[in-house]
Structure 1
Amino acid sequence: MAGSTLAAMTLYPMFANLNGRRVLVVGGGSVAERKIAALRKTGARIEVGAPRVTPRIARWVAAAEVSHRCGEFEDTWLQGVWLVVAATGNRSVNQRIASASGQRQLLVNVVDDAGLSTFQVPAVVDRHPLTIAISTSGAAPMLARLVRERIESLFDLSLGPLASLAERYRERIRRRFPDSRKRRRFLEHLFRGKVAEQMRCNQALLAERTLKRSLRDTNLQRKRGSVVLVGAGPGDPGLLTLNALRAINEADVVLHDGLVSAEVLELVRRDATLVEVGKRGGGAHTPQEDIHALMREHVLAGHRVVRLKGGDPFVFGRGGEELEFLREHRIDYEVVPGISAAIACAAYAGIPLTHRDHAQAVAFATAQCRTPGADPDWSSLARQNQTLAIYMGVSGIARTQHLLIAHGRDPNTPVALIENGSRPEQRVICGMLCELSRLAAAHSLQSPSLLIVGEVAGLANRLHWYGQAPLTGAPASSADRRAA
């Protein structure tokens, strides 16, 4: 069968039970090793036929996990075999294996040769016992692997233990709900509700107790929702964690800060309700009490709420205050940390926060204080040989400059202002502490911006890699540009 014909066909998806059954892998190289590694998980009786095998295969043979037929392929090797994999790298040998297998009505996979194969090995997302297989019918195996990478990010590792829990209670669930419609409703509640949430929090025993209570409960309607506190990072959607992506894809309601980028919001489930609860410095501002009230309102309506915050919710994100509120009102919650702006923006500007030659410590501070006059310890922040990262400092930048110098920081200390860090419009402005406020004004610095103070800031000119090169000094005037 021609490869193009096979690719045009619709293959029948099938999960084969190979436990205790003989499977032959012909070939002893690295490709055969990968095939055997996958087959070992199935409980199959694996035989490898080849004159030589890799050291890893040899170890499996020595441990009696795989048997070895030493030599060139012979038709007699196929006696009593259920499945065949040809991984010799020699097309003429592979053709002979495929032909001999076909005569015996055996399914055969010839690696990288769809035309000779009667079954395809899919790309697999493994959440045992949940398995997700992706196939392009042999047309583009690399595309299948790329799709698998995308799917990997969407399915939490807790799905495997959740599936195992459901398997253990399958008969009890069937006896409790003989009506198939009620059973489907219960299982949907199981896989989307509190049991699944507790599994994600690594609370397997609690999840099992919750399942038992649910089996006794006559009212299966979800009475209350829950909240997931999610860090969205500084803007680049590629910096979202897998757990963050999973949470925003499962959310019914997303309460997001104004600093969460449009690109991140594009990843939210299409039918979810988006509510901006502005936290942009100097701009629109939603009182914290109103945010608390919104979370509680949607939870009482049975919604799964994601509180989406820029950066990390526990680094100047008021995440602690929100958890205290949720705990006080007995609302179930999870926390998904994000990559903090200081770490991400510095990295995207080519600035290491610590360096053996320049900075042995790093301090994070915010220019926004809840109580007027509740300033940080400026003498501590002004220490030499440490990096200082200041969040939300645009409006008070002149005061920050004055206080650092007044408390002993060298006026010639390098500084870097990072505007829209990690986003396509990122700007990095470099200079010295003594010219900080002038640089910010000359370049019309806007929020969100981060200030880095310390010798490491001077490395941005040499180590930058993302976006435009750092700016230095005041921008040229229109008259200067005309003269040039």
Structure 2
Amino acid sequence: MRFLPLFFDLTHGPVMLVGMGPQALAKLRILKAAGALVRWHVLSHDDVEVDETEGVDLRIGLPTSEDFLGAVALVASAGAATDQRLAGQARAMNLPVNIVDRPDLSTFIFPSIVDRGDVVVAIGTGGTSPVLARRLREKIEEVLPERIGEFAGLMGRYRERLNALRHRGFSTRQFWERVIDGPIGALFLSGRSAKAEAALIIEVDRAGLGSPQQGHVQIVGAGPGDPDLLTLKAFHALQSADIVLTDDLVSSAILARVRRDAEIVHVGKRKGQPGIGQDAINSRLIAEAKAGRNVVRLKGGDPFIFGRGGEECQALEAAGVTVTIVPGITAALGCAAEAGLPLTFRKESTRLSIITANTAAGAENIDWSGLADRSTTVAIYMGLTAAASVRDGLVAAGRDPQTPVAVLARGTRPDSRSVTGTLSRLPALAAAAGEGPALIVVGDVVAHSRAWKEAVELLEMAA
């Protein structure tokens, strides 16, 4: 490690910036964002735009020896010979110096920065690879919550108030860990800042009194299977969980994103196989939260689309447990996108109906009468084993047996398969697709999918 990472307060004196061009302007923006008083030396007024000089002490000409007095740092991009001379002057006065793209002349360098207000992450490569530092910054940007800086500010406002209670003999570290990892953190990062602050005030007031801290439940949509389709909010939830109650159809690749020391409990069931009942799941969620654990209820797709997330939410709220919903990419969207299948199409398909064939009365008793219109795309969940009933119901309702159909099995996973044909052949298509989970799409839009076009090409080649 050649450069020690430090955070530099630039508000105690001017920072000298010398030079023009894109590199100097980039440093100017960073310095202004950090609240620095910038003394900018340029060769002429013609070299700068008016809006760039706002809040800046603009000076014409290179700095003199007197200009170095009182400065807190020098940043220069004025050309090789000038930069070397300025660096020597700054070093002679023990002034921190950065010569852009010249770490050999610099005593400090600018890291790649992730700026979240009060939370700042700096990535450095010792000046050897700015491109690599930028790529690492992009990765951190993806996983760092947007509101994390505001959350740090909230905690800062109550830090002194909490420190005054230390005589009660409790750990402030453990307190803040509970705030960050518990329902208060989840509420704030989900955008419910007022409710989070109200809860924080209550916890500060009763800190050290031994009152048990209730946990929090997040009902999280895992998406159709590809772990890269997890939302950032879902990823954050998995990383903060003490226990995850997961459906059996959630892929192992997604479960690998769960915090390593979290407990994972499988509570789902597959069609035709016994499993824990919904009432038992609700009771377990409530019990774990009231025991002070941060709970994630993980569901395939989106929890509010045939995922029974609404029932669980109602049960939790009735029990006085704080609950947050984290939506996921539902199968109709994720699987259709992978297959290149538009669910709507201008002047062709102007209505989308999402239904499930897995009903208490059975698929054969579904009222299909409202789905016979040719301009309606029908996306059918859990219909693989009921394919014959789906076909018979739609045809009896008036849907053309030659309507294009796609069976999208195990969508977005490595073993995904798309099988296309006509409604009349739906049972055979379902059998060809293999084991589920699978989505059935009925409508003229299927003819726009990649799988349909590839099947047509194969038929034409065979002919």
TM-score (norm 2): 0.89
**Greater displacement, 349-358 / 110-119:** 110-119
**C-alpha spacing 1:79/1:322, structure 2 compared with 1 (3 Å):** same
**C-alpha spacing 1:439/1:166, structure 2 compared with 1 (3 Å):** closer
Partner of 1:31: 23
Deviations 1:30-75 (A, max 9, x none): 33333222222222112333457999953132xx322434556777
Counterpart amino acid of residue 180 in structure 2? F
The aligned length equals 459
Partner of 1:382: 372
Q: Within the alignment, does 1:182 sit opposite 2:175 as a pair? A: no
Q: Within the alignment, does 1:325 sit opposite 2:322 as a pair? A: no
Q: Within the alignment, does 1:214 sit opposite 2:206 as a pair? A: no
How far apart are the structure 2 equivalents of 1:25 and 1:445? 66
Residues 251, 272 of structure 1: 8 Å contact kept = yes
- The structure 2 residue matched to 1:170, chosen from 151, 159, 169, is 159
TM-fit CA distance, 1:111? 3.0
**Greater displacement, 223-232 / 170-179:** 170-179
- The structure 2 residue matched to 1:301, chosen from 270, 277, 291, is 291
Deviations 1:206-252 (A, max 9, x none): 33333332233243454422110011111111111111111000000
**C-alpha spacing 1:279/1:59, structure 2 compared with 1 (3 Å):** farther
How far apart are the structure 1 equivalents of 2:166 and 2:360? 54
**Greater displacement, 369-378 / 18-27:** 369-378
Could you tell me the percent identity over the aligned residues?
38
* 2:264 match: secondary structure: strand
Alignment root-mean-square deviation, CA: 2.9
TM-fit CA distance, 1:366? 1.0
Partner of 2:345: 355
Residues 290, 321 of structure 2: 8 Å contact kept = no
Counterpart amino acid of residue 237 in structure 1? P
What are the ranges of 5 or more consecutive residues in structure 2 without an aligned counterpart? none
Residues 428, 470 of structure 1: 8 Å contact kept = no
Q: Within the alignment, does 1:202 sit opposite 2:202 as a pair? A: no
Residues 249, 267 of structure 1: 8 Å contact kept = yes
Q: Which runs of 4+ in 1 moved over 6 A?
A: 52-56, 72-76, 469-474
Counterparts of residues 20-59 of structure 1 (less than 5 Å)? 21-51=13-43, 58-59=50-51
Partner of 2:326: 336
**Greater displacement, 78-87 / 300-309:** 78-87
TM-score (norm 1): 0.86
- The structure 1 residue matched to 2:392, chosen from 399, 402, 413, is 402
Deviations 1:92-127 (A, max 9, x none): 444344333323322222333333322122222323
Residues 214, 220 of structure 1: 8 Å contact kept = no
Residues 429, 471 of structure 1: 8 Å contact kept = no
How far apart are the structure 2 equivalents of 1:255 and 1:415? 35
Counterparts of residues 82-93 of structure 1 (less than 5 Å)? 82-87=72-77, 90-93=79-82
**C-alpha spacing 1:372/1:124, structure 2 compared with 1 (3 Å):** same
TM-fit CA distance, 1:351? 1.1
Partner of 1:99: 88
How far apart are the structure 1 equivalents of 2:45 and 2:122? 28
Partner of 1:447: 436
Counterpart amino acid of residue 100 in structure 1? Q
* 2:128 match: secondary structure: coil
How far apart are the structure 2 equivalents of 1:99 and 1:284? 78
Q: Within the alignment, does 1:260 sit opposite 2:250 as a pair? A: yes
**Greater displacement, 454-463 / 413-422:** 454-463
* 2:446 match: secondary structure: helix
Deviations 1:5-24 (A, max 9, x none): xxxx3422211111253123
Residues 341, 450 of structure 2: 8 Å contact kept = no
Counterpart amino acid of residue 151 in structure 1? I
How far apart are the structure 1 equivalents of 2:126 and 2:98? 12
TM-fit CA distance, 1:337? 0.6
Counterparts of residues 354-373 of structure 1 (less than 5 Å)? 354-372=344-362
TM-fit CA distance, 1:404? 1.4
